[in-house]
Amino acid sequence: MAGKKHRYSGGIEVFMHNQPVGRLAMAADRRCLFEYGTDWINNGFSISPFYLPLKSGLFTARYDPFNGLFGVFDDSLPDGWGKLLIDRWLLKQGVQPDTLSPLDRLALVGKQGMAALTYEPDRCPGSGSDTMNLKMLAREVEKIMQQDYSGQLELLIRQGESSGGARPKVIVNIGNDGWLVKFPASSDPADIGALEYQYSMIAKKCAIVMPETRLFEKKYFGVKRFDRKAGRRIHVHSASGLLYAGFRFPSLDYTELMKATMALTADINEVARLFRLMVFNILTGNRDDHSKNFSFIYDERKWQLSPAYDLVKSHGFNGLHSTTIAGQGDPSRKDIFNVAEMTGFPHKMAFLIFDEVFTGCQEIRSKGW
């Protein structure tokens, strides 16, 4: 992959469970084009119902907010830590990262990405064997954060599987299950892993649907993957990609998110899960609730809200909630119930959920976490 020329922009084949979904290409104006395959139209489902309905014909992506890429495919690309690893690897190959198109980036994901979508050609640079040596991986992470190019980039890329988020993380296998394990970022407190684990335990007390969580070696927070089920890859679509809502700046309100959840799932119980998560985020000070921190999964021929993730006290944009609450970044109790009113969510259910979460997260408030 030497030089600055684009090598893979002629087209990308999209697959799910080894079945062809469609083909991506780049138009002259740097926007992506996508077309479903005939077999997928006859036997598959819409991978992004609001912007890629299941029908024949050519779709053209908007340029913003994903640099000309469709939101569902942008979900496959690493951001934060994962993008840093790829960019460091590119520089080692003599390639300037900003010369790559979105299709080049998808080729670098190949078959090693999260969730169910895979891409050909597969140019993923990851190599090496899986390891559970978290101390060694933590040392390699530290090298990268200190801009030391001697770190085992390929190993970290392989074990990251194009995961998103700002904090360094790896995928490890325990038995038949995959686990995502996080390491502290340079700006994190030393006990961030233990803190996030405590939040996950309290979230479960509040009846928040979460994957299984663990604290590895008493300091590394781990969460069981929900994009895998009995060895099968599960299609996951972030609210950011589904709604074309950029996540680097505030772009979404919980009222919009609740309405989208109802439109996608047609299930008031899924909307209730989101309302509960909103209340938890507000009462526990999790203000980094941006559009990529909510996702939906398609499984057993239906859409549903994914298990919750990234729940820990944090600052949002300018110290406010990244997803606003009835237009407010620093909401009051009244704003919470305004969301219910504006979305037609039953008030009785809203009050019941608020009381349950308020009671369940008292430990967080009492300890000032």
Strands 228-229 and 232-233: antiparallel
Strands (E), the chain: 12-16, 19-26, 32-36, 59-60, 117-120, 169-174, 177-182, 213-216, 220-224, 228-229, 232-233, 235-238, 252-253, 295-299, 302-305, 323-324
Indicate whether 242 and 346 sit together in one domain. Answer: yes
365 versus 144: the higher-pLDDT residue is 144
Q: Maximum distance among all alpha carbons in the chain? A: 62
What's residue 339's pLDDT? 98
What's residue 149's pLDDT? 57
8 Å CB contact between 83 and 160 = no
8 Å CB contact between 364 and 202 = yes
133 versus 331: the higher-pLDDT residue is 331
Domain end: 126, 142, 172, which one?
Answer: 172
Position 131 pLDDT exceeds 70: no
In the chain the first and final C-alpha atoms are separated, in Å, by 47
What's residue 317's pLDDT? 86
Q: In sequence order, which residues have a C-beta less than 8 Å from that of residue 202 and are 6 or more positions away?
A: 284, 360, 361, 363, 364
Domain count, the chain: 2
What's residue 316's pLDDT? 86
DSSP string, 71-93: HHHHTTS--THHHHHHHHHHHHT
pLDDT in tens, 258-306: 999 999 999 999 999 999 999 999 999 999 999 999 999 999 999 999 9
For residues 318-322, average pLDDT = 94
Indicate whether 252 and 143 sit together in one domain. Answer: no
Indicate whether 30 and 155 sit together in one domain. Answer: yes
Give a yes or no: residue 327 inside a domain.
yes
CB atoms within 10 A of CB 53: 11
Q: What is the model's pTM? A: 0.91
Indicate whether 131 and 251 sit together in one domain. Answer: no
What's residue 245's pLDDT? 95
pLDDT band at 193 (very low <50, low <70, confident <90, very high): very high
Position 164 pLDDT exceeds 80: no
Indicate whether 38 and 166 sit together in one domain. Answer: yes
8 Å CB contact between 71 and 117 = no
Average pLDDT score, the chain = 90
High-pLDDT (> 90) share of the chain, %: 72
Indicate whether 152 and 255 sit together in one domain. Answer: no
Give a yes or no: residue 210 inside a domain.
no
State the DSSP code for 36. E
Helix, strand and coil percent figures for the chain, each rounded to 5: 35, 20, 45
What's residue 363's pLDDT? 81
Indicate whether 24 and 164 sit together in one domain. Answer: yes
Say how far residue 167 (Cα) sits from the centre of its chain.
12
Position 165 pLDDT exceeds 90: no
Domain end: 124, 153, 172, which one?
Answer: 172
CA–CA dist 186, 234 (Å, integer) = 32
Position 95 pLDDT exceeds 70: yes
DSSP string, 307-358: PP---S-B--GGGS-SEEBTTBSS--HHHHHHHHHHHT--HHHHHHHHHHHH
For residues 92-102, average pLDDT = 92
Give a yes or no: residue 326 inside a domain.
yes
Indicate whether 97 and 244 sit together in one domain. Answer: no
Planar angle of CA 305, 308, 313, nearest 5 degrees: 145
CB neighbour class for 57 (10 Å; exposed up to 12, middle 13-18, buried from 19): exposed
Domain end: 136, 153, 172, which one?
Answer: 172
Position 179 pLDDT exceeds 60: yes
Position 161 pLDDT exceeds 70: no
What's residue 130's pLDDT? 63
Give a yes or no: residue 57 inside a domain.
yes
What does each C-alpha distance from 147 to 5, 87, 98, 133, 216 come to in angstroms? 26, 12, 18, 22, 26
Q: In sequence order, which residues have a C-beta less than 8 Å from that of residue 72 and are 6 or more positions away?
A: 47, 48, 51, 52, 117, 237, 241, 242
What's residue 147's pLDDT? 72
CB neighbour class for 49 (10 Å; exposed up to 12, middle 13-18, buried from 19): middle
Peptide bond into 125 cis (omega under 30): no
Q: Which domain holds residue 245?
A: 235-359
Nearest Cα residue to 367 out of 158, 111, 143, 195: 195
What's residue 7's pLDDT? 40
Position 361 pLDDT exceeds 60: yes
Helix (H, G, I), strand (E, B) or coil at 165: coil
Residues in the chain: 369
Sign of CA pseudo-dihedral 79, 158, 293, 286? negative
Say how far residue 23 (Cα) sits from the centre of its chain.
23
What's residue 166's pLDDT? 73
What's residue 150's pLDDT? 57
What's residue 148's pLDDT? 62
What's residue 2's pLDDT? 35
List beta partners, residue 295: 238
Give a yes or no: residue 77 inside a domain.
yes
Indicate whether 150 and 299 sit together in one domain. Answer: no
Q: In sequence order, which residues have a C-beta less than 8 Å from that of residue 122 and are 6 or more positions away?
A: 107, 110, 111, 112
pLDDT in tens, 32-80: 999 999 999 999 999 999 999 999 999 999 999 999 999 999 999 998 8
What's residue 5's pLDDT? 38
Position 3 pLDDT exceeds 50: no
141 versus 323: the higher-pLDDT residue is 323
What's residue 10's pLDDT? 64
